[in-house]
Structure formats: C-alpha cells, structure tokens
Amino acid sequence: MDYGIEVQQSKSPLPPPLDLDGVIITHAHLDHSGFVPGLYSRGYNGRTFATPATFDLSHMLLEDSLKVQRKRGMAPGFSSQDIKRMGRKEKIMNFKEPQEFGSSTVELLSAGHIPGAAFVKIESRGKTLLYTGDVKFIPTDFMFGAEENVGDIDILISESTYSYKNHPDRSKLKAQLMNIIEETCHNGGVALLPSFAVGRTQELLLMLQDVQFPIYLDGMGIRATQRMLSHPKSFRNAGMLSQAFENAHKIRKNHDRSDALKGPSIIITTAGMLQGGPVSFYISKLADRKDCAMALTGYQVEGTAGRNLLETGIYDNGEINVQPAFPIHYFDFSAHTDRDHLIKFYKRVNPEKLILVHGDRTPEFAEEVRGMGFDAVAPKNGDRLTV
C-alpha cells in the first residue's frame, strides 16, 4: 500500500520486495504514489490498484515530478516509460466494491482527504487491517468527510500528520482570509494565493466564487481542476466548481501574467510551498508593492522556501532572493484530520494494534496513546512488523 517519495528532497524510498501480489495507491499525492513507477523500473510486473480519480491525478503528478527532478539535476529512478508501464497494469477499484486477492478481501473506503483518496481495508485469515492513507473527517467546501463506519478493525495503520495539534475553526479562517483578500483588492492590490494544485486550488476557487474581483489561475492547478471535473462524484459541489473554474482567467501564456499583475486581482498559483512554479515569478514582480498581500493556506514543510519566508521574511528559492514589502499571512487550512479527531477515531475503532505512520512526531504520539491504553507502535523506515 503506497510507495511514495519525500517530495522536497525527491528522495527514493527503500527498495521493496518485488514478489508483491499487487500495489494499492491510497491517493495521488507524491508522498504516496511518487515511486510506484520505480517498482516497474525494478522489475515488478504486477497490478496497481486505485480509484479512477487517483489514477488520473497520479499520472499528472508523476509526469510533473519527473520533469521537476530532471530540472534539478536529480536521477528520478524511473522514466516516462515506467509510468506508461504502470498505466498498462492499472486496475480500477471503486469505493465499497470489495475484491478478492487470494485468501484476502480488499475494500476501499472514502478517506475525505482529496478526490479519490481511500482507506484500504484488508480482511485476511480472520483479521481485519485498516490503513488510513491521509484522512480528513470533517467535510470542507470541497470534500466530503471520511467514511466513519469502518466496521471491526483489529490492526489500524494511521497517518499522524497532526498528532500534536488541533486545527482552528475553518469557517473563522475562511472569514479572515476573505477579509484580507477583499481589503487588498479594494486598495487596488494583488492577493497572491500560492496553492497546491490538487485539493487546495479547488477549495479556494469554491471559497472565492462570490468575490467580485478577477481571479487568475496559473500553473498545474488548471490541469488538476480539469481532471477532477471529470470525476464529479469524487468531491462536493462539482457544479459550483465547474462554474468557478469557467469564470477564472486561466493563464496560458506569459503575457497573460501582466494582466494578472495589474490588480485589483486574485492569483491562485502553484507551488504551494513556493519551491518553484509560477508563484516565484509573481513574488519577484510584486516584491516592492506594499498594496499587495500573500496568503499561504497549506502546510509549509521545514526547509522549503515557504517555511523560510514565514520565518525570516526573505524569499529564496535558489534562483530568486527578495524581501517582499507586502504582508505574508498563514492560514492552517489542512486536508488532514487533527489530533482530537485522530484520538476520537482510535477510541471508536478500538484496534488491537495501532501502527502510527506519516508524521514528524510518531514516537512521541505512540507513547501518548499507549498511555490511553492502546497497543501502539511507531515503526521507522525499514522496520518489519508481524501482525
């Protein structure tokens, strides 16, 4: 289940066993899907399973990841051919349609994180295992919440991105963000919204649908939105998103960017953590303008240009180094569930064994939940567990 890369370093994962019965991708994000083609380059010739939206979005992100890694002079560990090879071995799985794998039954349930994102439930020899992938329980403007009714689970493998904090109230955050955008635009400025192509871009489009100022969409968010719109049941408010996408000015050529820069305007663009993409162009062009504003709405991983900008006020992506005169805001709109909801979920599922993954503080969290009576472990990469 899942075989990703560390996105910021494009680091390949540990070599896997190749005698796998199959590969299941929970969702398209590269920390889950980013090295599946690498299995095929190493000789794996079996099937890969995922939901239709996950396959569609994965292909876009994998091709982009190849391009980015080559541009940075890295060796990606697989080629475009391997992505195609994976494509030929793909088998679609829809939510709640269990499939037999030898003596096991596998079922995908909605995980509420991004379109197509799934929990994987495996029943084998009288035991049931659930792997959350990335999960969000509370619905947003864009996503339905995760499936709450997961049945009896013996072994739970849970993400723990936000094991250490709770998220602020999303509707309050949204009101604050809207205020900043409206005020900036009323003063003739540009509201710059760096955003992940998959997920946040679409949520922002939905949030901004009643705003009366021109909205520009730049970067991979355009293609990502198009792809999602072909899976309208995989998220909420497809009709509204389609309308909002139609109304937004899509930047196709460089000279379209000069219109966007005039203001008043709102620019939604990649990359979400400011590492690359058109956002660096906008930051450099707008750096001297005090009438503009930037709002980061996604998690900023340590060491990224986005995190450094928040901490130092200086933007440096290796090519551009500027100190923007405009204010920079951060809003914790997360597509991951928070601490209280994770713990609530564990208490409800009450698994025999709890395996914590996908977090910066998994050992500390395991310790904490052991104190609550769970048999919890936080394995390191390469550890083997017998369940």
Residues that bind Zn ion (CB under 5 A): 29, 31, 134
In terms of CB distance, is 29 or 236 closer to Zn ion? 29
State how far the Cα of 206 lies from the Cα of 265, in Å rounded to an integer: 16
Q: How far is the CB of 378 from Zn ion (least distance, A)?
A: 16
Q: How far is the CB of 113 from Zn ion (least distance, A)?
A: 5
Q: First CA to last CA across the chain, in angstroms?
A: 16
In terms of CB distance, is 85 or 236 closer to Zn ion? 236
Q: How far is the CB of 346 from Zn ion (least distance, A)?
A: 19
Q: How far is the CB of 201 from Zn ion (least distance, A)?
A: 14
The answer to whether residues 96 and 109 touch, using CB atoms and an 8 Å cutoff, is: yes
State how far the Cα of 251 lies from the Cα of 235, in Å rounded to an integer: 24
Q: Torsions phi, psi of 342, nearest 5?
A: -65, -50
In terms of CB distance, is 31 or 364 closer to Zn ion? 31
In DSSP notation, 138-149 reads S--SS-PPPPS-
Nearest to 232 by CA among 142, 152, 334: 142
Q: How far is the CB of 335 from Zn ion (least distance, A)?
A: 7
Strands (E), 253-292: 265-269
In terms of CB distance, is 29 or 89 closer to Zn ion? 29
In terms of CB distance, is 58 or 184 closer to Zn ion? 58
Q: How far is the CB of 287 from Zn ion (least distance, A)?
A: 31
The structure tokens 């995980």 sit at: 111
Q: How far is the CB of 120 from Zn ion (least distance, A)?
A: 14
Count Cα atoms within 13 angstroms, Cβ side, for 234. Answer: 27
In terms of CB distance, is 29 or 121 closer to Zn ion? 29
In terms of CB distance, is 199 or 263 closer to Zn ion? 199
Q: Give the total residue count for the chain.
A: 387
In terms of CB distance, is 118 or 205 closer to Zn ion? 118
Contacting residues for 382 by C-beta, under 8 A, at least 6 apart:
14
State how far the Cα of 337 lies from the Cα of 138, in Å rounded to an integer: 7
Q: Torsions phi, psi of 320, nearest 5?
A: -115, 140
Q: How far is the CB of 142 from Zn ion (least distance, A)?
A: 14
The answer to whether residues 235 and 219 touch, using CB atoms and an 8 Å cutoff, is: no
Read off the amino acid at residue 297. Answer: T
State how far the Cα of 308 lies from the Cα of 374, in Å rounded to an integer: 37
Q: How far is the CB of 316 from Zn ion (least distance, A)?
A: 26
- What HEC string does 10-36 produce? CECCCCCCCCCCCEECCCCCHHHHCCH
In terms of CB distance, is 116 or 264 closer to Zn ion? 116
